[in-house]
Amino acid sequence: MLRLPPFVFRPARTVVEAVDLFGSASASGDEAMFVAGGTDLLPNMKRRQFEPAVLVGIRRIDEMRTITNSNRTAILGSGATLYQIARQPRLATEHTALVEACRQVATPKIQRMATLGGNLCVDTRCNYYNQTFEWRKSIGFCIKKDGDICLVAPGSSKCWAISSSDTAPALIALGASVRLVGPAGSRDVAVADLYRDDGINYMRRRPDELLSQVRVPRIEGLRSTYVKIRRRGSFDFPILGVAAAIRMQGNRVAGASLVLGAVHTHPVVVTEATDLVGHEPTAERLQAVAEAAQRHATPLDNADLTLYWRKQITAVTVRRALESLVG
Amino acid sequence: MQLPQMLYGRLLCSHRPHARIKRIDTSRAEALPGVKAVITGIDLPHKYGILPVSEDEFPLEIDKVRFVGDPIAVVAATDEFICEAALQLIEVDYEELPTAMSIDEALRPVEEADRIHDYGALEAAGNVHKQVHLEFGDVDAAIEAAPHVLEGMYFYEGNTHLALEQHAALAHYGADGKLTLWSSTQTPHYVHKAMAKVLELPTSRIRVIATPNGGGFLTPSRGKSDPFPHEFCAAKLSMMCRRPVKITLTREEIFYMHRGRHPVLMWVKTGVDDDGKILGLDFQSFVDGGAYGSYGVASTYYTGALQTVTYKIPTYRFRGLRVFTNKAPCGPKRGHGTPQPRYALEIHLDRIAEQLDLDPLQYRRSILVDEYSMTVNHMRVTSCGLDECLTAVGDASDFASKRRQLPYGQGIGMGCGSYLSGAGLPIYWNDMPHTSVDLKIDRGGGVCAKCMEIDIGQGSDSVLAMTVAEVLGIEADEIQLVTADTDTTPIDLGSYSSRVTFMMGNAAKQAAEKLRERILEAAGNKLEVSPEELAAAHGMIVHARTGKSMSFREAVPLAEARGGQLSSTGFYRPNRLAGPYKGSGVGPSPAYSYSCAAAQVDVDVETGIVTPQRIWIAHDCGRAINPVLVEGQVEGSVYMALGEIFLEEQTYRKGLHKFPSMLEYKSPTFLEMPPVETILVESLDGEGPFGAKECGQGPLLPVPPAVANAIYDAVGIRIDELPITPDKVLRGLERKAAGKESRVGPNRVPNVIWPDPIRVDPVWYDQPPEAYVPTIRRVDAEPPGSAKGSPNCEHRESP
């Protein structure tokens, strides 16, 4: 059977300690990684996508597991599990898209281990990459790990692995930001600015920075939803994620945001959603946004089902998501 | 399982789809501390294969690899980490050969030296393994004279069993020079036989123990019915190291070793009269075999064998062809070779009904085979509850009032099927019984039943205990079982081809009857009544007329005192069922099960996503010896069918299996499982034990065509290709909207020069079987409460 590669596990109790442990491992020349729930990292380690010498455990950091609500912001420890977040009644009402996203990640059992921070940092996916070492050796390895070409787009110089986070599109649509704590101090970054157009270096978070908390603003009257397309009602990563948020004033749209997941190396903000602002959300206007969204989707042949179908159903999925918010 | 001093083994598998091995150097791996042995193909230089006609595999390939995943070396070390490191140190130089990754590619002419195998149908171009051409009566004339002729093409994608457990083998070559192998196999007898050949040991020095197999989703054919490389390798390594060696396959390796369902491309042509009565059926199947023979010759015949046992077909031609490709070898999966043609045939019948404006359910009822009749290809039909199945499903699903009446996007469809209760012939030719059961009763009345049958989750242990208990009039929990061990149990060929309840049940019944006779004789003697008037039930032996009685436990010592140790052997061998033509050995069975299913679906016309809403299924199992398990088998079959319909496909890209993992090879979860209404029909077969027939494989067959037919009813498009994925549905809807043929499926089959047919004059067609095969017709049910002589329905609904 597949075995994990050998590694040293160093659990931390505080954010500061975690950053220090990471730093001291790096200083002694060992590759280190943070691990919380491990639901993404450990299977990948078994398949040798990662072989860190040191894992810094952040699951027991109490300050990263708390969920606090102020009147203006919900502050979610990045170590809160998806299960924990999915069962917050206030979040369900005010930040519906986030709760719906958490509920649809993997399986209920995995949701009890997997954390919000982990889902935001989840590795990009590609069915040329998420394979065992032996399989990848047979096909000749890819640019993301051990090889030098992209097998899905051999003419491309960059990696096309797919952003597969469910919570990232939801949090972008909700205007959230994250706090990154590194050896040089901490900084806040909007989730919308957290990702890069590169399947390998897909985040602006530096490896030694710990994503410690997520801050989601409260916006009066905001309604949001997250729709996930996948083959089965459980287990599967998204082949399309649609996060939409709309605020109405009377019968007109006062604010709108729309974000697609799993159609690119990073979540894709559909800016055309703002065209709705100031207007009644008529069927024609929603359809126009839906069609614009479909133009933004650039799936490739590296995930489940055909890329044509995955693109083709973007518009209908977006239209239905928007309809559910204005109906 | 773990044994003291145990070593671990790991396989090195080919990284090339088709290549010659120029050099293999294991010296660096052997030098790694902790490595105890490394072997390659030359250490096990004997070919094996489940069928004697295609012994084409080495445990580790020597000169050549035929697919990515073909094992070529194995390492034994003190732990799996060392094994893994050692595998990376084995150097292999390959010389690449041209590959064939599809049926079409396999039919292209190749250089002699580039063939995947140097045997098979060598007269044909390309990589053809087997060709079959059988003709029963004048099909061409019948179709030509028919007022309605319909032609169609269908494709059924390959898929795999996906048993939850990872297969493991543990071998221990002891100080006594005896090898014991514990393995998660379905066929300890065949493994025993193959071990003796490959390891050059007498069978007396090999003991195979099939471990209890869990997590097979109650799936009878879990793809562990071939002997597998890791079993031989663990054994050989243990012989070399004189320590126990365990090899647990990775999930990826299971995808490669497992003998999944064959992808089959099919062409069907029928001629029917104005009432839809079939006058002639012409059928072609193109079977993608993968890299080795496995059960493939039988699988190929099976794609043509059972079309005839459900409906009257007076003339029939079957042409079948199996190719070798550079993919994981295929073999038997639930329904072995028959779900593919059944899918084609049942959609085809739906089309005929549509064309003639007939209700598809009533139409099928009008063309059913007769009970106790011979088919055109010399299959003997005995009990047949298909009419009852059709009626029951029609009533339960309200089929007549739903068909064409549901709103656009919703539809109902139906299909039928039939399957073997055990193959009529063993895998290797012999005249011996297919199964034997030994019974022994101790002086306290404890009964021990021994049989090599292996419970793979289907509940065969319970059938053994219940059958013996029923005959002896005691409770099943008073029976001790010893099973699945080649040292201690008498032969049973294994848990495949839905044979265990029928065959082992008959053997167990016979063995128990022998002992009952002795016990009743002793009891009658003591009670001073005639033994023929005694009944045994609930642990008592009772003379009804006088009320005299004694307990079973009291009677046992009396019987032993009269005639010695209470032990007996029962056995079962089917009658000679095969017809007088070459190829007639595949298809005959002592009895066929029958099923009918209806499916109601919802089609999202904007996304193409199809949601099954409800399945109704009636299955004629002869008699439900353990009704809860029968129901479980039926529901499990529906579950597996839904996976094959909507999700599962073994596809390849760039010479590799596209996704050999449980995450990306999509198999349904219980969220995908709709409510299922199961109806058990009991046709009380005359030759089955207490009337029982099979239930583990047949119920899969009607479900795929029922769903495809329901999609047609819902949105008017035909999906003639499994799996039915949303992109295909959307494509069908687009074609329909554009005024094109509203169908998605294959549009051509290869143009093949078939060998000359074996022409058979079906003089037996539609005749009573007694003139051709000894036959026992249905008798009155033995236990009370069953309808006399006619099938009996029991309606169950899943929670």
Interface test with B, best of A103, A107, A138 (most B CBs within 10 A): A138
Q: How far A233 CA lies from chain B's nearest CA (Å)? A: 6
pLDDT for residue A265: 97
* Chain B positions in Cβ-Cβ contact with residue A126 (cut-off 8 Å): none
Q: How far B215 CA lies from chain A's nearest CA (Å)? A: 17
Interface test with B, best of A134, A227, A311, A313 (most B CBs within 10 A): A134
Question: What is d(CA A95, CA A80) in angstroms, rounded to the nearest whole number?
Answer: 16
* Chain A positions in Cβ-Cβ contact with residue B668 (cut-off 8 Å): 232
Which residue from B minimizes the CA distance to A129? B659
Residues near A17 by beta carbon (within 8 Å), at least 6 away in sequence: none
For the stretch B420-432, pLDDT in tens is 999 999 999 899 9
Mean pLDDT, chain B, integer: 95
Half-sphere exposure of A117 (CA within 13 A, CB side): 29
For the stretch B299-322, pLDDT in tens is 999 999 999 999 999 999 999 999
For the stretch B718-758, pLDDT in tens is 999 999 999 999 999 999 999 999 999 999 999 999 999 99
Contact between chains at B669 and A3 (C-beta distance less than 8 A):
no
Asked if pLDDT for residue B219 goes beyond 70, the answer is no
For the stretch B53-86, pLDDT in tens is 999 999 999 999 999 999 999 999 999 999 999 9
SS3 sequence, B198-253?
HHCCCHHHEEEEECCCCCCCCCCCCCCCCCCHHHHHHHHHHHHHCCCEEEECCHHH
* Chain B positions in Cβ-Cβ contact with residue A1 (cut-off 8 Å): 80, 166, 248-250
Q: How far B643 CA lies from chain A's nearest CA (Å)? A: 11
Contact between chains at A308 and B252 (C-beta distance less than 8 A):
no
Nearest to B441 by CA among B511, B353, B384, B375: B511
Q: How far A70 CA lies from chain B's nearest CA (Å)? A: 37
Torsion-angle region of B367 (φ positive above 0: left; ψ -120 to 50: alpha; else: beta): alpha
For the stretch B472-504, pLDDT in tens is 999 999 999 999 999 999 999 999 999 999 999
pLDDT for residue B673: 97
pLDDT for residue B181: 98
Angle between helices A283-296 and A307-326 (to 10 degrees): 150
Contact between chains at B654 and A127 (C-beta distance less than 8 A):
no
Burial of B112 (0-12, 13-18, 19+ CB in 10 A): exposed
* Chain B positions in Cβ-Cβ contact with residue A138 (cut-off 8 Å): 14-16, 68, 655-656
Interface test with B, best of A135, A142, A287, A291 (most B CBs within 10 A): A135
Nearest to B471 by CA among B529, B518, B428, B427: B518
Which residue from A minimizes the CA distance to B11? A1
- Residue B107 contacts residue B126 (beta carbons within 8 Å): yes
* Chain B positions in Cβ-Cβ contact with residue A231 (cut-off 8 Å): 647, 666
How many of the other CB atoms lie within 10 Å of CB of B547?
A: 7
Using CB atoms, pick whichever of A137, A139, A306 lies closest to residue B727: A306
* Chain B positions in Cβ-Cβ contact with residue A312 (cut-off 8 Å): 727, 730
Residues near B682 by beta carbon (within 8 Å), at least 6 away in sequence: B385, B620, B621, B622, B623, B624, B691, B786, B791, B792, B793, B794
Using CB atoms, pick whichever of A135, A235, A316 lies closest to residue B656: A135
Give the mean model confidence (pLDDT) for residues B614-635.
97
**Two tokens at B24?**
């293999």
For the stretch A240-287, pLDDT in tens is 999 999 999 999 999 999 999 999 999 999 999 999 999 999 999 999
* Chain B positions in Cβ-Cβ contact with residue A309 (cut-off 8 Å): 608, 725-727, 730
* Chain A positions in Cβ-Cβ contact with residue B671 (cut-off 8 Å): 232-234
Interface test with B, best of A132, A306, A309 (most B CBs within 10 A): A309
pLDDT for residue B795: 57
Mean pLDDT, chain A, integer: 97
Contact between chains at B656 and A138 (C-beta distance less than 8 A):
yes
* Chain B positions in Cβ-Cβ contact with residue A313 (cut-off 8 Å): 606-608, 726, 730
Q: How far B31 CA lies from chain A's nearest CA (Å)? A: 21
* Chain A positions in Cβ-Cβ contact with residue B727 (cut-off 8 Å): 305-306, 308-309, 312
Q: How far A236 CA lies from chain B's nearest CA (Å)? A: 7
* Chain B positions in Cβ-Cβ contact with residue A127 (cut-off 8 Å): 658-659, 664
* Chain A positions in Cβ-Cβ contact with residue B249 (cut-off 8 Å): 1
Interface of A with B (CB under 8 A): 1-3, 6, 127, 130-132, 134-135, 137-139, 151, 231-236, 304-306, 308-309, 312-313, 316-317
Contacts 24+ apart (CB under 8 A), B353-359: B353/B276, B355/B148, B355/B150, B356/B148, B356/B272, B356/B274, B356/B275, B356/B276, B358/B275, B358/B276, B359/B400, B359/B403
For the stretch B103-146, pLDDT in tens is 999 999 999 999 999 999 988 889 999 999 999 999 999 999 99
Give the mean model confidence (pLDDT) for residues B606-635.
97
Q: Which of the four pLDDT bands, split at 50, 70 and 90, describes residue B782?
A: very low
Using CB atoms, pick whichever of A137, A232, A308 lies closest to residue B672: A232
Q: How far B84 CA lies from chain A's nearest CA (Å)? A: 9
Task: Find residue B57's DSSP bridge partners.
Answer: B48
Ordered alpha helix ranges (H), B473-545:
505-527
Q: Which of the four pLDDT bands, split at 50, 70 and 90, describes residue B165?
A: confident
Give the mean model confidence (pLDDT) for residues B153-175.
94
Give the mean model confidence (pLDDT) for residues B626-638.
96
Rg for chain A (alpha carbons), in Å? 20
Interface test with B, best of A130, A231, A286, A294 (most B CBs within 10 A): A231
Nearest to B727 by CA among A22, A311, A110: A311
Q: How far A66 CA lies from chain B's nearest CA (Å)? A: 31
Q: Which of the four pLDDT bands, split at 50, 70 and 90, describes residue B787?
A: very low
Nearest to B325 by CA among B300, B298, B299, B293: B293
pLDDT for residue B258: 87
pLDDT over 90, % of chain A: 98
Contact between chains at A235 and B669 (C-beta distance less than 8 A):
yes
Using CB atoms, pick whichever of B68, B166, B669 lies closest to residue A1: B166
Interchain CB contacts (distance < 8 Å): A and B: 80
Asked if pLDDT for residue B217 goes beyond 80, the answer is no
Give the mean model confidence (pLDDT) for residues B539-543.
97
pLDDT for residue B214: 54
Asked if pLDDT for residue B788 goes beyond 80, the answer is no
For the stretch B233-250, pLDDT in tens is 999 999 999 999 999 999
Using CB atoms, pick whichever of B15, B655, B663 lies closest to residue A235: B663
**Two tokens at A64?**
């990263």
Asked if pLDDT for residue B216 goes beyond 60, the answer is no
Using CB atoms, pick whichever of B16, B84, B666 lies closest to residue A231: B666
pLDDT for residue B797: 54
Look up the pTM and report it: 0.96
C-alpha dihedral, A47 to A53 to A59 to A63, nearest 10°? -140
Q: DSSP labels for B10-35?
A: EEEE-SSSSEEEEEEE-HHHHHSTTE
Interface test with A, best of B606, B667, B673, B744 (most A CBs within 10 A): B606
pLDDT for residue A327: 78
Interface test with A, best of B65, B669, B670 (most A CBs within 10 A): B669
